[in-house]
């Protein structure tokens, strides 16, 4: 094995691609990156730690020639057509046994198609979810690989080296067959949408009680020292202190309230409907980003419909605790719905996703890392086939301890007209999930009445239809 050959190649040297390569180089691997943009190849080389082996090239063929066989190549390019275009340009340059990885946020159905397509050409294809943003990529992301187990073994030493570590364990594991890596990353992002939405609702509820940015910073910083300790709560505390460099205001107060949702959050909702599995907290988060974009209509509606009179009249310290519990409740339910979706998808789509491994990988490096994942990790170690985390006794204790305060907050939000739909959706899901007999028997009766859709009975097996009398 000649020293002049590189261990790993990267196509696309944007922020994520560059930082992942530099992270690999820091762990003793020799790396090479390709990008048509010369400023990006030089940024790669100038960003390298002294003594590491890092090269940037502007010719794809040159990079392929300089890689050890079997070649290990990752693409970090925008999802969709660009990935297919890169694959087509690679095909004439590769040899049987080479491993091609898509590290972007591709939809898992595209990954399934590409796995099959490249298998016919005797090439290994893997879809890998990477979470942790710019800093994570450089210092240790959470990595969610799926696909060909044989290919995973060829890249495992590198992925384990660069992944975040929790209690000495790398935040990477083989997460299932076919498109499982991208599927897990998609659901990760759905959970992320939901928790971010609920944090924004907690912010609105606290602001309504008169908390200013300094106090909000203090509250979130304190919350991050307890049960809510997580990356998202930690960065939220920081955000309230950031000064705007253009005015004297705090930056958060001059940022527009219009948000978009593209890709992974929306896909999570769409795919959940297809399975089907219920994830209303995630669906609500996607919907509310859509509503946020109707800014002009909201301005008009605000003039027509006044908010209900009266504000939050609970003592401030009590209210802070109640909102804390409601956010904690909503966070648990966001994970519960996402994990239930993975459980269902694993079976329906035959991906064999190991949930104990998923929650372990999410404990560090990724955007939804939180202390709660330790509790879930223990739960899955006890019963790996748990269909819903809410059925675990320890999780049930946590939920029961904060349920009353959550109901108080939801009722109060409804009375004063503060939109807290994410937390409300979490509570509604919980109430439906813990209801032994739902009123859906009436829905079944209605469907049979108007459309002869038939129904089942509770006292005997079989399928029935009634000719309903009109009264």
Q: Which residues contribute to the annotated binding site for substrate?
A: 105, 131-133, 188-189, 193, 262, 289, 447, 453
Cβ–Cβ under 8 Å, residues 255 and 227:
no
CB-based contact 415:348 (threshold 8 Å) = no
Catalytic annotation, residues:
185, 192
Binding residues: 105, 131-133, 188-189, 193, 262, 289, 447, 453
Q: How far apart are CA 306 and CA 380, in angstroms?
A: 48
User: What contacts 467, CB < 8 A, 6 or more positions away?
Assistant: none
Question: What span, in angstroms and rounded, lies between the C-alpha atoms of 149 and 458?
Answer: 46
Q: What's the burial of 74, exposed, middle or buried (CB within 10 Å: 0-12/13-18/19+)?
A: buried
Sheet holding 8-11, edge to edge: 54-57, 31-34, 8-11, 72-75, 99-102, 124-131, 142-147
List phi, psi (to 5°) of 124.
Answer: -90, 130
CA distance 153 to 155: 6
Strands (E), 289-435: none
**Can you tell me whether residue 75 is helix, strand or coil?**
strand
DSSP string of 17-57?
A: HHHHHHHHHHTT--EEEE-S-HHHHHHHHHTSPTT--EEEE
β-strand partners of 57: 34
How far is residue 34 from each of residues 18, 31, 57, 437, measured CA to CA in Å? 10, 10, 5, 59
């Amino acid at each position: 094995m000649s020293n002049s050959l590189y261990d790993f190649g990267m196509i696309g040297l944007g922020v994520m691609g560059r930082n992942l390569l530099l992270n690999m180089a820091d762990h003793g691997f020799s790396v090479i990156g390709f990008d048509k943009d010369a400023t990006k190849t030089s940024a790669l080389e100038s960003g390298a730690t002294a003594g590491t082996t890092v090269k940037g090239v502007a010719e794809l063929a040159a990079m392929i020639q300089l890689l050890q066989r079997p070649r290990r190549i990752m693409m970090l390019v925008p999802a969709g057509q660009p990935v297919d275009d890169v694959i087509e340009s690679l095909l004439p340059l590769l040899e049987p046994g080479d491993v091609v990885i898509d590290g972007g946020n591709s939809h898992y159905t595209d990954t399934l198609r590409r796995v099959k397509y490249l298998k016919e050409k005797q090439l290994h294809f893997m879809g890998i979810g990477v979470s942790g943003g710019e800093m994570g990529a450089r210092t240790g992301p959470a990595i969610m690989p799926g696909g060909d187990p044989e290919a995973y073994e060829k890249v495992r030493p590198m992925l384990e080296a660069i992944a975040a570590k929790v209690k000495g364990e790398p935040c990477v594991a083989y997460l299932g067959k076919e498109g499982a890596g991208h599927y897990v990353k998609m659901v990760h992002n759905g959970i992320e949408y939901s928790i971010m939405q609920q944090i924004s609702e907690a912010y609105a509820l606290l602001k309504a009680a008169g908390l200013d940015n300094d106090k909000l910073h203090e509250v979130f910083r304190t919350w991050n020292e307890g049960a809510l300790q997580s990356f998202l709560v930690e960065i939220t505390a920081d955000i309230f202190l950031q000064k705007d460099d253009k005015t004297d205001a705090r930056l958060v107060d001059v940022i527009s309230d219009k948000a978009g949702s593209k890709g992974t959050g929306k896909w999570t909702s769409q795919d959940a409907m297809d399975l089907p599995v219920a994830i209303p907290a995630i669906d609500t988060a996607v919907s509310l980003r859509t509503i946020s974009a109707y800014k002009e209509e909201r301005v008009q509606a605000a003039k027509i419909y006044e908010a209900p009179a009266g504000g939050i009249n609970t003592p401030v310290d009590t209210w802070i605790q109640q909102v804390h519990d409601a956010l904690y409740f909503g966070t648990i339910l966001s994970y519960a719905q996402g994990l239930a979706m993975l459980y269902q998808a694993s079976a329906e789509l035959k991906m064999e996703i190991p949930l104990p491994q998923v929650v372990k990988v999410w404990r560090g490096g990724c955007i939804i890392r939180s202390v709660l994942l330790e509790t879930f990790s223990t739960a899955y170690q006890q019963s790996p086939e748990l269909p819903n985390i809410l059925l675990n006794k320890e999780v049930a204790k946590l939920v029961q301890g904060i349920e009353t305060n959550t109901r108080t907050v939801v009722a109060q939000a409804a009375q004063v007209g503060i939109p807290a739909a994410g937390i409300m959706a979490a509570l509604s899901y919980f109430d439906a999930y813990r209801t032994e007999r739902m009123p859906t028997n009436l829905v079944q009766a209605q469907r049979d009445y108007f459309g002869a859709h038939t129904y089942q009975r509770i006292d005997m097996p079989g399928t029935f239809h009634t000719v309903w009398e009109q009264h």
